[in-house]
C-alpha cells in the first residue's frame, strides 16, 4: 500500500515539476490551470495523510510560511562579495590594464565575460544532492537570513536540479520583480493608499522578508537569475562562461544576454549595447558586470576583503538626479481625480528630459513632504513615470509651506471631495470642463469611437467656448459653427464631420468604452457586450448579474451600476443613442479588408509597446477580430509578459502563439497570412 502511494507521490512530484518548468521556464504549458491544480491537490492530500513519504524536493513545499519568530541566520561558506565600480570607459580600461599587469605581463591574453548587472537582491541557494535545502539573503556578505520558505514560492527557482551535480552546490544570483509587475504592484499600492516601492529591488527584497506570507503572488512572480557558483564547481568546468552554461543546464534562468569579450574594446562595445537595450528589458539593470573568464586566472588574481580583483561592475549613467520643484499644481483627470504634479526645473535623467513628476495623491505629498522650492531627487525606474524619491531637506529654502490639494477644483471651482478610506481627492462635477475635455479626448480615441480630427486644440476651443457642454454635443456639431473656429478650414471641417458620421456606426463594445465608465476599457467592454448583446439589458443589469461574468469583479460591477444609475449619465446615453441615429449594436466594427481580414486574435499578458486597447484597435483596423477568450476558432494568441491561463489554453488547442514584435509585423505587412 505505502509502496503504491510512494510511487504515486514520485510520479506527482516529477509531473508537477515538469509542468512548472514548462509553464514558467519554457513558456510552453501542456496542462490547463484546473488540471494542474488537481494534480497539486492530490499530492498535497497524499502528503498530509502520509507525512513520512513527503519528499524533500516536493513541489508542495512551494506553499508554506516562514517561521513566526523571524528568520534564522545562514553563514555563507564562501563570502558573498560585492563589486568594485567602473563609472566610465577610462575606469574600464584601467581595470583591464591592471588585470593584465597582475597576471604577468601586459601582452597576456585575457578574455572577459560581460553580463548585465541585475538590480535586485543578491541571494544564495544551497542544493544538496540536487535538492534545494536553503535559500538565504546576502546579508552583510558573511551572514544572511534564511528565507527558504519565501524563495521556494518563486516560480523561477528550481526545487531540484535538472541534471547531475556535485553533492553540495551553492548557486548565487539576483532576485528581482519584473518591471511590468513592479509597475502594476505600485499602481495597486497607490490605489490602496500605500506607499509605492522606489524600485523593483526594494519590492523584491520586501517580498522576501515577508514573515506571514501576505503576498504570495508577489513571491511567485519573483524572478531569480543565476550568475555564479559559491561552492560546487563541477570538475571539467574551467571558465565563468561554462559556469553560466552549467547553471542553465541545471534549470536556472541565466538569460542569453551575456557575451564573451576578447578584450577591453569588446567589453566597451558589449556595455554600450547593453545600455542601449536597457529600457527594453523585462528586468531592471543598472550596469554590466565584467568578469575574467578563466577560473584559474580568477584564483591567481584573488580577492580583497570586500570585492574580487577579477570582476568589476561597469555602471550605467545614473537614472537619479537632483532638481528643483518650481511649482506644485493639481491636474484634473477624466474621472475627476485631482493629481498633485510637481513642475520641475527640467533635468535629463537616464537620457530623457523630465519636467513634471506625479506626486500621486495627498498622502504621498504628506509622506514625502514635497514643497515648492525644494531640491528633490528624481528617478526613473525602468520605463516608469519619473518619481520624486525624496526631498533634500538640508537644501530647503526658508519660509516654505506644506502643499495641500485645493478645496476647490482648479478648473470648475466645485468643492472637491475625498471619500473616507480613499486615497483620491475628486472633483465631483461631471460637467467640469477638465473632465469633459478628457472625456472628449477619450471618446475620440482609437480604442473608443476613433474620431479623426478631434484633437487637443479643437477640444479646448469646443469646451472653452461652451459649444460642447456634454459628450453628446459632439454629434450635434454643425458645419457653420465649426467653420467659425480657429484653424478650421472647409476641408478640415468636412473631414471631421465625415469622421463623426462614421463614428456613429460602431459596436456596443466601443460605445461602452467611449462612455468613459471607470474600469471599463476594451477588454471589459467586450465581456459586457458579449454577455448582453445590446445596451438595454446591460442598463437593466444589477451587480449580481454583472459579477457573474468571468473577468468582472465587484469593483467593475459597482462602477457600471453607479454610472448608469446617475441620472445625468442615463440622459447622456439616451441622447447619444438618439443622435447616433441608432447604433449598429453587435455589428463588429471590423474592416472587411486589410492584412488580417478574417483572422481572430486573443490578447493575453501585458504588451510593451502597445496598450491592449491600441493593439485591439489596430488589429480591427487591419480587418482582424479580437475576442476575449480562446477557442478552436482563434487564429493567433498574442502573449505579452505575465500571460494568463489563456496561454495554457492556447497550447492545449495547439494554436499559434505570437509575441508583440510578430503582431506588429503582421499589422504592417501587406501580405495575406
Ligand atoms: S557577480 C564576487 N554578477 O551586484 C562576484 N553580481 O554590486 C559578485 N549583481 O553583490 C557577484 N548582477 O548582488 C555578479 N551578473 C552579475 C550581477 C551581480 C547583479 C549584484 C550582486 C553583487 C552586486 C555588486
Average of pLDDT values for 154-171? Answer: 94
Q: Ligand 1: which atom is nearest the Cα of residue 258?
A: 15
Ligand 1 binding pocket includes 657 (Cβ within 6 Å)? no
Q: Does residue 202 contact residue 220 with C-beta atoms inside 8 Å?
A: no
* pLDDT of 21 over the 70 cut: no
**What was the pLDDT predicted at 64?**
53
Q: Does residue 306 contact residue 83 with C-beta atoms inside 8 Å?
A: no
Q: Does residue 357 contact residue 388 with C-beta atoms inside 8 Å?
A: yes
Question: Average pLDDT of the chain?
Answer: 87
Instruction: Tell me which DSSP letter residue 421 carries.
Output: T
* 267 vs 141, residue with greater confidence: 267
Ligand 1 binding pocket includes 254 (Cβ within 6 Å)? no
Q: Does residue 346 contact residue 293 with C-beta atoms inside 8 Å?
A: no
Ligand 1 binding pocket includes 229 (Cβ within 6 Å)? no
Give per-residue pLDDT as tens, 409-419: 999 999 999 98
Number of H helices, E strands in the chain: 24, 21
- Residue owning the nearest CA to atom 23 of ligand 1: 82
Ligand 1 binding pocket includes 118 (Cβ within 6 Å)? yes
**What was the pLDDT predicted at 672?**
45
Percent of the chain with pLDDT over 70: 92
**Which residues lie closer than 8 Å to 128 by C-beta, 6 or more apart?**
167, 168
Most confidently predicted of 2-6, 230-234, 516-520, 573-577: 230-234
Q: Residue 663: name the closest of 628, 630, 635 by CA.
A: 635
DSSP β-bridge partners for residue 259: 114
Q: From CA 230, how far away is CA 585, in angstroms rounded?
A: 64
The rounded Å distance from CA 556 to ligand 1 centre is 44
Best mutation site among 76, 81, 113, 122 for ligand 1 pocket (most ligand atoms within 8 Å of CB): 122
Weakest-pLDDT range from 324-328, 439-443, 538-542, 632-636: 632-636
pTM for this model (two decimals): 0.56
Give per-residue pLDDT as tens, 185-225: 887 777 777 777 878 888 899 899 887 656 677 888 899 99
Best mutation site among 81, 85, 117, 292 for ligand 1 pocket (most ligand atoms within 8 Å of CB): 117
* pLDDT of 584 over the 70 cut: no
The rounded Å distance from CA 137 to ligand 1 centre is 13
Dig out the grid coordinates for 78 from the structure. 564562501
- Residue owning the nearest CA to atom 5 of ligand 1: 81
Give per-residue pLDDT as tens, 306-351: 889 999 999 987 778 899 999 999 999 878 899 999 999 999 886 6
Q: From CA 488, how far away is CA 70, in angstroms rounded?
A: 68
Residue ranges and CATH numbers for the domains of the chain are 2-61 (1.10.287.610), 85-315 (3.30.470.30), 320-395 (2.40.50.140), 409-588 (1.10.150.20), 600-668 (3.40.50.10190)
Q: From CA 254, how far away is CA 226, in angstroms rounded?
A: 5
* pLDDT of 22 over the 70 cut: no
**What was the pLDDT predicted at 592?**
61
Percent of the chain with pLDDT over 90: 49
Give per-residue pLDDT as tens, 113-129: 999 999 899 999 999 99
Q: Does residue 382 contact residue 284 with C-beta atoms inside 8 Å?
A: yes
CB-neighbour burial class of residue 456 (10 A; exposed 0-12, middle 13-18, buried 19+): exposed
* 250 vs 19, residue with greater confidence: 250
Instruction: Tell me which DSSP letter residue 495 carries.
Output: H
Map grid coordinates 457642454 to a residue.
Answer: 469
Q: From CA 344, how far away is CA 391, in angstroms rounded?
A: 13
| Confidence band for 34, pLDDT divided at 50, 70 and 90 | low
Ligand 1 binding pocket includes 247 (Cβ within 6 Å)? no
Residues, the chain, total?
A: 673
Q: 3-class DSSP state for residue 342?
A: strand
**Which residues lie closer than 8 Å to 37 by C-beta, 6 or more apart?**
none
* pLDDT of 598 over the 90 cut: no
Instruction: Examine the residue annotation and report whether 117 is marked as an active-site residue of this protein.
Output: yes
* 523 vs 169, residue with greater confidence: 169
Q: From CA 305, how far away is CA 295, in angstroms rounded?
A: 19
Q: Residue 546: name the closest of 512, 574, 570 by CA.
A: 512
Ligand 1 binding pocket includes 225 (Cβ within 6 Å)? no
Q: From CA 371, how far away is CA 510, in angstroms rounded?
A: 42
| Confidence band for 515, pLDDT divided at 50, 70 and 90 | very high
DSSP H or E segment with residue 322: strand 320-332
Ligand 1 binding pocket includes 287 (Cβ within 6 Å)? no
Q: From CA 574, how far away is CA 85, in angstroms rounded?
A: 65
* pLDDT of 460 over the 50 cut: yes
| Confidence band for 383, pLDDT divided at 50, 70 and 90 | very low
Q: Residue 44: name the closest of 22, 65, 59 by CA.
A: 59
H helix runs in 581-653, sequence order: 612-621, 645-652
Dig out the grid coordinates for 242 from the structure. 561554462
Amino acid at each position: 500500500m505505502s509502496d503504491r502511494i510512494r510511487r504515486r507521490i514520485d510520479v506527482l512530484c516529477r509531473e508537477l515539476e515538469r509542468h512548472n518548468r514548462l509553464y514558467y521556464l519554457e513558456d510552453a504549458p501542456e496542462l490547463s490551470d484546473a488540471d494542474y491544480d488537481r494534480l497539486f491537490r492530490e499530492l498535497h492530500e497524499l502528503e498530509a495523510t502520509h507525512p513520512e513519504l513527503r519528499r524533500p524536493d516536493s513541489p508542495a513545499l512551494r506553499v508554506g510560511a516562514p517561521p513566526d519568530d523571524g528568520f534564522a541566520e545562514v553563514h555563507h561558506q564562501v563570502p558573498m562579495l560585492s563589486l568594485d565600480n567602473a563609472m566610465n570607459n577610462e575606469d574600464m580600461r584601467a581595470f583591464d590594464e591592471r588585470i593584465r599587469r597582475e597576471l604577468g605581463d601586459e601582452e597576456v591574453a585575457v578574455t572577459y565575460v560581460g553580463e548585465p548587472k541585475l538590480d535586485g537582491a543578491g541571494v544564495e541557494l544551497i542544493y544538496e544532492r540536487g535538492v534545494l535545502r536553503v535559500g538565504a539573503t546576502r546579508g552583510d556578505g558573511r551572514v544572511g537570513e534564511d528565507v527558504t520558505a519565501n524563495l521556494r514560492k518563486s516560480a523561477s527557482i528550481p526545487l531540484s536540479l535538472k541534471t547531475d551535480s556535485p553533492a553540495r552546490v551553492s548557486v548565487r544570483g539576483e532576485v528581482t520583480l519584473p518591471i511590468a509587475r513592479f509597475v502594476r504592484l505600485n499602481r495597486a499600492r497607490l490605489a490602496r493608499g500605500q506607499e509605492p516601492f522606489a524600485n523593483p529591488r526594494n519590492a523584491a527584497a520586501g517580498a522576501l522578508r515577508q514573515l506571514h506570507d501576505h503576498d504570495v503572488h508577489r513571491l511567485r512572480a519573483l524572478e531569480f537569475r543565476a550568475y555564479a557558483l559559491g561552492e560546487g564547481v563541477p570538475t571539467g568546468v574551467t571558465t565563468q562562461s561554462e559556469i553560466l552554461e552549467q547553471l542553465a543546464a541545471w534549470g536556472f534562468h541565466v538569460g542569453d544576454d551575456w557575451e564573451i569579450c576578447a578584450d577591453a574594446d569588446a567589453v566597451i562595445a558589449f556595455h554600450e549595447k547593453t545600455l542601449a537595450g536597457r529600457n527594453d528589458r523585462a528586468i531592471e539593470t543598472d550596469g554590466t558586470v565584467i568578469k575574467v573568464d578563466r577560473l584559474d586566472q580568477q584564483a591567481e588574481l584573488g580577492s580583497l576583503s570586500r570585492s574580487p580583483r577579477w570582476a568589476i561592475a561597469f555602471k550605467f549613467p545614473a537614472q537619479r538626479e537632483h532638481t528643483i520643484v518650481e511649482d506644485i499644481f493639481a491636474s484634473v483627470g477624466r474621472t475627476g481625480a485631482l493629481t498633485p504634479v510637481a513642475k520641475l526645473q527640467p533635468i535629463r535623467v537616464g537620457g530623457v528630459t523630465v519636467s513634471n513628476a506625479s506626486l500621486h495623491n495627498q498622502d504621498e505629498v504628506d509622506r514625502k513632504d514635497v514643497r515648492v522650492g525644494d531640491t528633490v531627487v528624481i528617478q526613473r525606474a525602468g520605463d516608469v513615470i519619473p518619481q520624486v524619491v525624496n526631498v533634500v531637506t538640508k537644501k530647503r529654502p526658508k519660509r516654505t509651506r506644506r502643499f495641500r490639494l485645493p478645496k476647490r477644483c482648479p478648473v470648475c471651482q466645485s468643492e472637491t471631495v475625498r471619500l473616507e478610506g480613499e486615497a483620491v481627492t475628486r472633483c465631483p462635477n461631471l460637467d467640469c470642463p477638465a473632465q469633459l475635455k478628457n472625456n472628449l479626448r477619450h471618446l475620440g480615441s482609437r480604442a473608443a469611437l476613433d474620431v479623426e480630427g478631434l484633437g487637443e486644440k479643437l477640444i479646448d476651443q469646443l469646451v472653452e467656448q461652451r459649444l460642447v457642454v456634454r459628450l453628446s454635443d459632439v454629434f450635434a456639431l454643425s458645419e457653420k459653427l465649426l467653420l467659425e473656429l480657429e484653424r478650421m478650414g472647409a476641408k478640415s471641417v468636412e473631414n471631421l464631420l465625415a469622421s463623426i458620421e462614421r463614428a456613429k456606426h460602431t459596436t456596443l463594445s466601443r460605445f461602452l468604452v467611449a462612455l468613459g465608465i471607470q474600469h471599463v476599457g476594451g477588454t471589459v467592454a467586450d465581456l459586457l457586450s458579449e454577455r448582453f448583446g445590446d445596451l438595454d439589458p446591460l442598463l437593466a443589469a444589477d451587480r449580481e448579474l454583472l459579477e457573474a461574468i468571468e473577468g468582472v469583479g465587484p469593483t467593475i460591477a459597482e462602477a457600471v451600476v453607479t454610472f448608469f444609475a446617475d441620472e445625468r449619465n442615463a440622459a447622456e446615453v439616451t441622447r447619444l443613442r438618439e443622435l447616433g441615429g441608432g447604433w449598429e449594436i453587435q455589428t463588429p466594427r471590423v474592416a472587411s479588408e486589410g492584412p488580417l481580414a478574417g483572422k481572430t486574435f486573443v490578447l493575453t499578458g501585458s504588451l510593451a509597446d502597445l496598450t491592449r486597447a491600441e493593439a485591439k484597435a489596430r488589429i480591427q483596423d487591419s480587418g482582424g477580430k479580437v475576442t476575449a477568450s480562446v477557442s478552436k476558432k482563434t487564429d493567433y494568441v498574442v502573449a505579452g509578459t505575465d500571460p494568463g491561463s489563456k496561454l495554457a489554453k492556447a497550447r492545449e488547442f495547439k494554436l499559434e502563439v505570437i509575441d508583440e514584435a510578430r503582431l506588429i509585423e503582421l499589422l504592417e505587412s501587406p501580405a495575406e497570412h
